[in-house]
Amino acid sequence: MKTANKTVTATQLVKDALTKAKHFADYNIFTYLNEEGALKRAAEIDAKIARGEEVGKLAGVPFAMKDNFLSPEGETTASAHILEGFTSPITATAIEKLEKEGAIMIGRTNMDAFAHGSSTENSYFGPTLNSHDRERVSGGSSGGSAVAVALDIVEFATGTDTGGSIRQPASFNGVYGLKPTYGTISRYGVVAMASSTDCVGFFTKTPDDMNLLMEVASGQDPKDLTTLPDYYNESEAKKVKKIGIIKDFDNDSVDLEIRQALKDKCEALKASGHEIVELEMPALKYALAAYYIIVPAEIASNLSRYDGVRYGFRSEDSANLEALYPNTRSEGFMPENKRRIMIGNFVLSSGFYDAYFLKAAKARTLIVNEYLEAFSKCDAILTPVAPNPAFKLGEKVDDPVSMYLEDVMSVPLNLAGVPGLTIPAGKTKAGLPIGLQLVGPRRSDKSLIEFSKELA
């Protein structure tokens, strides 16, 4: 990562990033550019460098921030109409930690509204275009962040991953994307989607940059009681020798070129002395169904706070409370947000709770146990991230089930809380990036990042 020093100033780094951001404006990457704020911070860092003061590990490094991280710069909208006009008085802990080391936020990136989606087409601001093919989706929900890194506007970007929202757009754009172990990075000040699976993570161009960001951002936060003690900085990377392959993922619903890329990697690993282990993980077939019950249930609860009183948008037709709530929510949420609220409230309602939510919770336990067993046989698992490379804009957006099927290989990790790292693995004949996903046991994030260097 290029940091500022006496010859390359933070101001220059920030100016370059802003120029590139404007150059690629038609990709619809940013919902807000933090020009004035970023240049002010850069000037402060340059002044410190001139005085010979300590400036931190990320001095002057411009970064892009997904629009669901709270900070006073610009409006935090989570790319949803219902949050338009909301400016946060607080800054997310993860962002505070990056800024303490000198990183500079140059803009907020586009996303599926409230992170519901796999293409960034559910954004109130319209889709972000894919970095390699402008007729295709950027992936989602963190599409803007992935494209900002892929087009080299910034060295890194923040994202959130509830069911694949970092890993899938990373794979669609040919960059690294990490969903850490659940609880590694504080979620304080991040717009909640599903509290039992939400994770903060990053997009980078190299494994070393990922490691550096993890060193900075990991650790316990008294403001987020789900955070783990700082295992990341207190542990060494372990050698990955045995790699598991999931037999069921090698089927006709997965793109042939992706399956070939996985086979090629396995051959290369064998040639370099690694052992490949075939795994049976039969409970994973329940993961998508369980995810689309548990996550909407948590979404319905988390989104109940948007009532037109406390945050952002309020319907003009709000003469009394009976009008204010439904009108604000009807006009402010995107169709996909509403679908999830409906499903969530349905599966939690009395009479259906046992049949849906409780069943899904039990399936989740099976999945957790299946990963535990798998990691008694191998050190890491290598799988595709999604069944296909980036698809065409408009191809799936009107068919929710086909959009949900995008997540079939990414959501099991979130249900189990285990880490997953997207690594670039070449391109299709048509020139679209292919990504593969390295999965490890809880708290193995550092080992995965280290091992990904061997796969580069």
Rounded Cα distance, 211 and 419, in Å: 14
Rounded Cα distance, 122 and 140, in Å: 9
Measured from the CB atom, is 38 or 194 closer to ligand GLN? Answer: 194
Rounded Cα distance, 101 and 59, in Å: 6
- Pairing relationship of beta strands 420-427 and 380-384 according to DSSP bridges: unpaired
Which is catalytic among the residues 141, 145, 218, 410? 141
Q: How far is the CB of 163 from ligand GLN (least distance, A)?
A: 3
Which is catalytic among the residues 66, 179, 396, 446? 66
Q: How far is the CB of 409 from ligand GLN (least distance, A)?
A: 11
Q: Following DSSP, what letter does each residue of 120-183 receive, concatenated?
A: STT-TT-PPBPSS-TTBB--SSSHHHHHHHHTTSSSEEEEEESSSTTHHHHHHHT-EEEEPSTT
Q: How many CA atoms lie within 13 A of 333 on its CB side?
A: 25
Query: Which region holds residue 74: left if phi is over 0, alpha if psi is between -120 and 50, else beta?
Result: left
Q: How far is the CB of 160 from ligand GLN (least distance, A)?
A: 6
Q: How far is the CB of 289 from ligand GLN (least distance, A)?
A: 13
Q: Following DSSP, what letter does each residue of 241-254 receive, concatenated?
A: -EEEEEGGGSSTTS
Q: How far is the CB of 342 from ligand GLN (least distance, A)?
A: 15
Q: How far is the CB of 337 from ligand GLN (least distance, A)?
A: 11
Which is catalytic among the residues 165, 218, 444, 447? 165
Active-site residue 141, yes or no? Answer: yes
Measured from the CB atom, is 295 or 360 closer to ligand GLN? Answer: 295
Measured from the CB atom, is 233 or 402 closer to ligand GLN? Answer: 402
Active-site residue 235, yes or no? Answer: no
Residues 6+ apart with CB under 8 A from 67: 31, 32, 76, 77, 78, 79, 108, 109, 110, 111, 144
Asked whether 141 and 117 are in contact (CB, 8 A), the reply is yes
Interface with ligand GLN by CB under 6 A: which residues?
115-118, 141, 161-165, 193, 295, 407
What are the two backbone dihedrals, phi and then psi, of residue 46, each rounded to the nearest 5 degrees?
-60, -40
Q: DSSP character for 263?
A: H
Measured from the CB atom, is 336 or 445 closer to ligand GLN? Answer: 336
- Report, as residue numbers or ranges, the catalytic residues: 66, 141, 165
